Structure 1
């Protein structure tokens, strides 16, 4: 077990790097330090030939409640040096298989990150939400193109414009997750699928992933960049600042 930060750790077993998000006191909200840890973990997995698959997990009761807003607001402009931005691009261009196991809350980046994963398994207690407009903001992580690709325009608009929460059954029906099981079964299933991938010829698996993503990778990166421009603009708007201030007063 290697601690990338105090809340991000990795462990490699039989070709699978498990990246764990563990900040339960903040519902696994991601700080800039945690984004750095996640980016570093993905970079190490990319460079290590012994790593064939990455499995991303949270805790038993929470995948991630999204950005640690207070920390995020103090991190400066959304430029190439910003830890959140670096993580988004690392995630989008990662060439090895990415598997996610999701239990409990998956809010904001906790949901949009899943759109970059190749296989997603959810516990039946998983709850997803993309509350960007509720904070006076816009989608991020290329979710404005990836979610319509998965769910179709109308359902993507429902979740990205209204910011309505949805459960694991809805995520399954729209194709955002591969399978839903009980919380007690989740880790065993995700680990089994990750090991199944790791046992296959790595070159063939990575080549197949590259072909699957070939038509969308450039568009994904362009969309991340376009979203960041608008996200930065909206973040400084009076409406967004009022909404965020109200969030902190809850």
Structure 2
């Protein structure tokens, strides 16, 4: 069974996380697949929009920690690092459909999406400090820009979970619907985007992101330095060991 289902519907490329036994936690293999799919989509003129989704009851539980810890230093060859930069640089519209858990990268990846739709059972959390770690994927700059400093601190420092209503209020998601409507709505919006002149849409996206693009990339780089340092710390190792004992 493929852990990432890739299918093209007209000018929309659908990337569906498909690791139900692990609540769609991302393995290094999945990161490689996602990076390759986004890289190819960026160059494929037949693809105008990418739709990222999980299952009907779980978007993603974040990193597969055990797999992640065995992948080595966070350098330019690391699959997670390659995915983060590919995501930040992706030039075409990204639409996300979120149901159930969206933990860690399951939430921070949404900060790079252009349109995000969630169902009312969505639950978001950024538990980095709880694991003795720091923000990633540019979230240290993107979340304060979106939600304001105090709310970003609440979610990134305390790691408090929040629901779909809060995500809608802060602007992380565009619309909240019931679970039976989520996939249809996301596909409808993706198809609507894909039907527009692609050059105009991509140019508009680039203009919307022009003031923050370089800062986002700089933030990812700075976060990775601190993330690696903290990952090697005793405090983090103790927290992770406790996580695996639960």
The alignment's TM-score, normalised by the length of structure 2, stands at: 0.99
Give, in whole Å, the separation in 2 of the partners of 1:27 and 1:239: 26
Q: 2:224 aligns with which of 223, 228, 234?
A: 228
Please report how far the alpha carbon of residue 104 of structure 1 lies from its aligned counterpart in structure 2 after TM superposition: 0.3
2:6 matched residue in structure 1:
10
Q: 2:48 aligns with which of 47, 52, 60?
A: 52
Give matches, 1:16-27, under 5 Å.
16-27=12-23
* Residue 89, structure 1, aligned to residue 88, structure 2: no
Give, in whole Å, the separation in 2 of the partners of 1:14 and 1:76: 39
Corresponding residue pairs, total: 246
1:99 partner SS: strand
Can you give the 5+ residue segments of structure 1 that lack an aligned partner in the other structure?
A: none
Give, in whole Å, the separation in 2 of the partners of 1:160 and 1:191: 31
Please report how far the alpha carbon of residue 9 of structure 1 lies from its aligned counterpart in structure 2 after TM superposition: 1.8
Please report how far the alpha carbon of residue 23 of structure 1 lies from its aligned counterpart in structure 2 after TM superposition: 0.2
1:195 matched residue in structure 2:
191
Give, in whole Å, the separation in 1 of the partners of 2:142 and 2:95: 17
2:208 matched residue in structure 1:
212
Give, in whole Å, the separation in 1 of the partners of 2:233 and 2:182: 41
Please report how far the alpha carbon of residue 6 of structure 1 lies from its aligned counterpart in structure 2 after TM superposition: 2.3
The alignment's TM-score, normalised by the length of structure 1, stands at: 0.98
* Residue 162, structure 1, aligned to residue 158, structure 2: yes
Give, in whole Å, the separation in 1 of the partners of 2:59 and 2:68: 18
2:63 partner SS: coil
2:239 matched residue in structure 1:
243
For residues 75-122 of structure 1, the C-alpha deviation after alignment (integer angstroms, 9 at most, x for no partner) is 000000000000000000000000000000000000000000000000
Give matches, 1:119-134, under 5 Å.
119-134=115-130
Structure 1 stretches of 4+ moved >2 Å? none
1:35 matched residue in structure 2:
31
For residues 155-209 of structure 1, the C-alpha deviation after alignment (integer angstroms, 9 at most, x for no partner) is 0000000000000000000010000000000000000000000000000000000
Give, in whole Å, the separation in 2 of the partners of 1:24 and 1:41: 20
Give, in whole Å, the separation in 2 of the partners of 1:196 and 1:87: 26
Please report how far the alpha carbon of residue 47 of structure 1 lies from its aligned counterpart in structure 2 after TM superposition: 1.1
Please report how far the alpha carbon of residue 13 of structure 1 lies from its aligned counterpart in structure 2 after TM superposition: 1.1
Give, in whole Å, the separation in 2 of the partners of 1:153 and 1:181: 28
Can you give the 5+ residue segments of structure 2 that lack an aligned partner in the other structure?
A: none
Give, in whole Å, the separation in 1 of the partners of 2:209 and 2:89: 10
1:79 matched residue in structure 2:
75
